[in-house]
Structure 1
């Protein structure tokens, strides 16, 4: 576990890792492509390491040039006759991104139900509908699911998502890649992580048109030669968490390695709270030393709409809002179990939060928190509790670091770089 104590305002410069949420679908896209891909800026968190191991177990070659852990070359190999049993796929949510590649390679994909953060039911019904649109068959039981390839077909695949599911959008896109069929997908998810995959496909000749209500893909007329080179963008959620920590301590610091457009919803929320912040040329600057808290209510409502607030920004914003004046509203219907993880832990620090519904809550700040023992039940709960611990009187001890490391290779270390009083302790 780690111990967190309040200290001086955070200052200095820190660089974020590559994004877990972008690296996972990009690795799956590299496998689906069927030709060599070099992926740069790969983060070292546990989920990404498991995905790399799954690719190797399923028959792809994964090489790290010159022993560089943040770069990997994904190489296809000869097909195997039997689909592998990927037991470790149960440890991460994103294992379902491998289904299209496994179908193309083995004729079927057999996987255990995905794991990951325990933040409520997030079913795969839409994923199965995406595969069924390509003619594939899906079957399920208590232990997992199986998707069997259809006989080869031609023509455009068209269907509409009932809501903007990121997982189902990626599933449809990667199945189009493995079948080389055009796709017309209505009401797609156009989060930065999906756009990363689309941008990567453009580099190898796919024609992509992404509008708010329609995503269309057309395969390249000729197969690209050589090694495709893709880059994982900087982790916008890690950057947002660091920004909230800087703001909570009234610090002034720089966070490098970000994409400016990815942080626009977070910066808008910080401005609403009176925190000066902005991005330029891949650097996020937070100048909370000059903050003038407005007292205006913040409405941090997670959204799947293009340009909406990513649900993973909500927990650190909640921890920050506890220290600022105003009556603030938070809602996350995308991950219906997240509040049940986070709110009880914040309450152990003395936070008073009104639970309006299982996915909606309200708090009034500023509040005085007191250090206590808390537990990271999921990645974002852990990062939010660290932000809260930086403002709590006394020592906050945070357990469940295995959850935190699933999404961040070393978030406590980055906070220490900015001057946070954080150290690892033995229980």
Structure 2
């Protein structure tokens, strides 16, 4: 069992470069199944979710070559076969294989997805869209079997009952080779949607409207290979911005797209965080006094649910009281009990988190309850006096590329240890 050990209370300084977006690349890799040629992704983060997806692709017959942060995938050998259950069950993004396999073969046999336990994350929106496009679903043991009539999906007019990134992307995958036109209304607008649409269009698809709430897709017969640059990870960027405000003596975060973080940065400025924003970087100054604020997450362009937990330790430094309401995932509160172990005045009440500050945190043995909760514990460990041990770190390694090395370069006393 591995753990992260942090000797906190040190001020950090320097530069850190944000990696490619985890929430993009976990969709971009399954999308490549739809291509009839080699696709190369640049800016691929070194995270365990990518490792799992590569394993799945190779198991299915794809040829994969990884060089630095570039990933070359030849999907022409991919077979129409049941997905490997153990690997599928290890990550949430495995559900993207539903749409890509339906789009390529007109059928998919895939196990139920895994990932962090953040409360109900139903896939009924995905299934509803597939059924509207001519697919039927049955269960075969622990697998779902999706089959299109006559092995070919057809276009449809689909209204998403709730805004869902996963369902929007999966519907795009099923539609790009379908017969006719597909219209997705109430579509998710996240930057990752635009990134996926850009890859698909570079492969020869006809996708319009990505980034708005109406996406139109005209099906094509074939998609070809291409090369694509993954967008910067806005969640990693937001995590390092919060970290820099909490323990930095002046930290520059490079490879940041400000327009992807506007609502988050506005909330930090409301707290009194001082930053200098440039074209592709943000410099976070050493902070003095911060003001407590209340936070409410919402679909993009609102404040991202994935940034709620990394922001929480910084909120604990602020003077006053506030609350955090996550409207996306009701169970995204696992970090609260762990922060309380470190001396934080923070509790969960009904459907929100309440906190009072400023707090002085003390090192403790804590756990990463999920991916972004793990990031919160890393920031809290850097803030705390004494030593913090974080267990369950596989969650953290799923989504933060080279996090130990990046923090060491900023001056952190942090190491990965075998327990």
TM-score with structure 1 length normalisation?
0.91
- Aligned partners of 1:267 and 1:278 also within 8 Å: no
Shift of 1:108: 2.3
Distance 1:353 1:61, change over 3 A: same
| Shift in Å, 1:315 | 0.5
Residue pair 2:106, 2:148 contacting (<8 A) in 1 also = yes
Q: 1:7, 1:420 within 8 Å by CA — same for their partners in 2? A: no
Q: Which residue of 2 aligns with 1:298?
A: 293
In structure 1, stretches of 5+ residues that fail to align are none
What do residues 205-258 of structure 1 show as CA deviations (whole Å, max 9, x unaligned)? 4241246432212246x8676x41111112221121111111111421111122
Instruction: Indicate conservation of the 8 Å contact 2:57/2:78, yes or no.
Output: no
Note the C-alpha offset of 1:84. Answer: 4.6
- CA 1:255–1:107: 2 relative to 1, 3 Å: same
Q: Which residue does the alignment assign to 1:166?
A: 165
Contact 2:363 2:387 in 1 (8 A): yes
Counterpart of 2:94 in structure 1 is 95
Q: Distance in 2 between matches of 1:36 and 1:423?
A: 38
Deviation of the 1:356 alpha carbon: 2.1
Where 1:91 maps in the other structure, the secondary structure is: coil
What corresponds to 2:201 in structure 1?
202
1:228 is matched with which residue: 226, 229, 236?
226
| Distance in 1, Cα, partners of 2:218 & 2:37 | 18
Does the aligned pair in 1 maintain the 2:199–2:228 contact within 8 Å?
Answer: yes
Q: 1:243 to 1:209 in 2, by over 3 A?
A: same
Q: Is the Cα–Cα contact under 8 Å of residues 40 and 70 in structure 1 kept in the other structure?
A: yes
The 1:84–1:270 alpha-carbon spacing in structure 2 relative to 1, beyond 3 Å, is closer
- Show structure 2 runs of 5+ residues with no match: none
Change in Cα spacing, 1:278 to 1:135, as seen in structure 2 (3 Å) is farther
Calculate the aligned-residue CA RMSD, in Å. 2.2
Higher mean Cα deviation, 110-119 or 205-214?
205-214
Stretch moving more, 210-219 or 366-375? 210-219
| Paired residues, number | 416
1:2 and 1:398 in contact (8 A); partners too:
yes
Local SS of the residue matching 1:77: helix
Give the deviation of 1:278 after TM superposition.
Answer: 4.3
Q: CA deviation at 1:154?
A: 7.9
State the 1:142 CA deviation. Answer: 6.5
Superposition deviation, residue 346 in structure 1? 0.9
Query: Given the superposition, is the C-alpha separation of residues 262 and 81 from structure 1 closer, same or farther in structure 2, using an over 3 Å criterion?
Result: closer
Q: Secondary structure, in 3 states, of the residue corresponding to 1:390?
A: helix
Residue aligned with 1:301, SS: strand
Query: Which of 48, 68, 73 lines up with 1:46 in the alignment?
Result: 48
Distance 1:278 1:128 in 2: 45
Distance 1:388 1:246 in 2: 12
Q: State the TM-score, normalized to the length of structure 2.
A: 0.93
> What is the CA distance between 1:141 and its match in structure 2?
6.3
